Amino acid sequence: MRVFTLFGIYYASAGYALINPLFGVLFFVHITIFRPENLAWGSAVFGRLHLITAVCTAIGCLIRRDQLRTDVGRHQRLNVALFAAFVAWLWFVSLTATASVDASIDRTLYITKIFAFCVVLSLVLNSAHTIRWYVLVSSASFGLVGFWGVLQGMAGNWRLDNVWVGSNELAAALSLMIPFTLSAALDSAFLKWQRIAMALCVVAMTTCIVYTDSRSGLVALIGGLFGFVVLAKRKFRFLAWLLAIIVLVYPMVPSEFGDRWSTIVQQDAEADLAAKSRPILWQLAFRMWQDNPILGVGLGNFRLVVSSYESKAGDLVNSEAMARLIFGTEREPHGLYPGLLAQAGLLGLALLMTMSLRNASCRLDFQKDLALLGKGAQAGVLGFAIAAIFGDYQYIDMFYWQLFLIGAIRSVWEHSDAGDSLLASPMAHAKGELI
């Protein structure tokens, strides 16, 4: 009965995207983050939900194209151009992949789907009103994931590997979203109950990061929050909120958490094997890039090629246990930057870094109504960039969405003289809008 009810609600919502593309975009954001298939306990009932929602949203955009803004602004146009160049380069790289063309094409196709959604996102998020709806939906969806993760952690599901794609990926995504959601809790343009809800989402997401047991995720969160302190104007108000969150989260931190974190400050001889393997994988990725400096080896090919470097890694691998860990299984690079360098070459890494840095560092002060949300998004991108040092997170959708959200905020400013209502509440002026 529960699965039948969820089936009706979610598929009816997908159909509504035909007449309301903003709703379709927001619904796609929700199901990508919350993953309703987890509620069906492995049932295949939601197997085509993402595809159907994407198709209905695309058709809805064509039907209601008169309500979309095709001129997305100079900053967003360059975002689209850089992302398009990145995708085009990945397709070229995939066709020349060293070990498996199919593996590279499969991952490139996923990035291409993210690009297509980001283009739609840039067309739909065309006012402060639509941007604030995106803030509410994405933050609430991650808040639900965080709450589910806390429940699972308290029930003994340490690491939360079956809650999302993986524990480290979940922690990286949460480090991206927590400063952003916190900015919504501090934004007086939202209604009071919405700000309280966002604050509760921050508490749930922060506690969930603890239960992922991801050291890199928590380091990334600390970096992102520090970046928000630097960017925020009312620093004392922000610090007061941060202290309140710590007071709420601390009693829920399990005792095992301290044992895990102690490995960060241990001497090299005492560090766990997984942590010691990462620098070796990064060095192998750099050597792989030196052997394939232009095109790299192809996305998803590092794990297929790395075993061929066993005979060349005598200066890096000094134990049988480490050799088995690195060469005995198909290991990923465990770092976005060296991994992408090895698999897509210098140009691939440069295109992604350029798109990231220009959005993370662009000025938002001139767009006063949305500046706080923009700075929260920028702080989250900073935190995610720190997490990406330790993981292969270039396939996480939300990272690209946040870059295009920053572009949307810039776009609203560029079109503000056209008469957009920049102070619209997400609950106001709904009639006549896309939602």
DSSP annotation string for 365-386: TTSTTTHHHHHHHHHHHHHHHH
Q: Are residues 144 and 235 in the same domain?
A: yes
Q: Return the pLDDT at 276.
A: 83
Q: Are residues 119 and 238 in the same domain?
A: no
Q: Are 416 and 126 in contact (CB under 8 A)?
A: no
Q: Return the pLDDT at 432.
A: 38
Q: Return the pLDDT at 424.
A: 42
Extract long-range pairs of 244-250: CB within 8 Å, 24+ residues apart: 245/182, 245/199, 245/202, 245/203, 245/206, 248/203, 249/203, 249/206, 249/207, 249/210
407 within domain boundaries: no
Counted domains in the chain:
3
pLDDT at 264 over 70: no
The predicted model gives 174-191 an average pLDDT of 94
Per-residue model confidence as pLDDT tens digits over 290-312: 999 999 999 999 999 998 888 88
Q: Are residues 187 and 256 in the same domain?
A: yes
- The mean pLDDT of the chain is 85
399 within domain boundaries: no
Q: Are residues 4 and 140 in the same domain?
A: no
413 within domain boundaries: no
Q: Return the pLDDT at 48.
A: 80
- Total-model pTM: 0.89
Alpha helices in 96-191 (DSSP H): 101-124, 128-154, 167-186
Q: Are residues 56 and 33 in the same domain?
A: yes
pLDDT at 42 over 60: no
Distance from C-alpha of 391 to C-alpha of 332, rounded to nearest angstrom? 9
Q: Are residues 152 and 242 in the same domain?
A: yes
Q: Are residues 261 and 375 in the same domain?
A: yes
Q: Are residues 148 and 183 in the same domain?
A: yes
Q: Are residues 319 and 334 in the same domain?
A: yes
Q: Return the pLDDT at 328.
A: 75
Q: Are 257 and 206 in contact (CB under 8 A)?
A: no
Per-residue model confidence as pLDDT tens digits over 21-34: 999 999 999 999 98
Poorest-pLDDT segment among 106-115, 147-156, 348-357: 147-156
Of residues 89 and 128, more confidently modeled: 89
410 within domain boundaries: no
Extract long-range pairs of 94-102: CB within 8 Å, 24+ residues apart: 94/298, 94/299, 96/295, 96/298, 97/297, 97/298, 97/299, 97/301, 98/292, 98/297, 98/298, 98/301, 98/304, 98/305, 99/297, 99/298, 99/301, 99/304, 99/305, 100/298, 100/300, 100/301, 100/304, 101/298
pLDDT at 268 over 80: no
Residue 335's alpha-carbon distances to 89, 281, 349, in angstroms, are: 20, 8, 12
Q: Return the pLDDT at 419.
A: 39
Residues 6+ apart with CB under 8 A from 243: none
Per-residue model confidence as pLDDT tens digits over 320-329: 888 888 887 7
Q: Are residues 158 and 241 in the same domain?
A: yes
The range of the structural domain enclosing residue 194 comes to 131-265+370-387
3-state SS of the chain: helix, strand, coil percent to 5? 75, 0, 25
pLDDT at 428 over 90: no
Q: Are residues 242 and 300 in the same domain?
A: no
The predicted model gives 250-260 an average pLDDT of 62
- Tokens representing 218? 């928590």
Q: Are residues 138 and 117 in the same domain?
A: no
Residue 2's alpha-carbon distances to 31, 40, 49, 151, in angstroms, are: 17, 8, 17, 20
pLDDT at 409 over 90: yes
- Tokens representing 343? 């698999």
Distance from C-alpha of 260 to C-alpha of 387, rounded to nearest angstrom? 17
Q: Return the pLDDT at 269.
A: 47
139 within domain boundaries: yes
396 within domain boundaries: no
Most confident range, picked from 36-40, 411-415, 421-425: 411-415
Q: Kindly provide the b/e burial profile for residues 213-240, where b requires at least 16 CB atoms within 10 angstroms of the residue's own CB.
A: bbbbbbbbbebbbebbeebbeeeeebee
pLDDT at 421 over 70: no
Distance from C-alpha of 290 to C-alpha of 191, rounded to nearest angstrom? 54
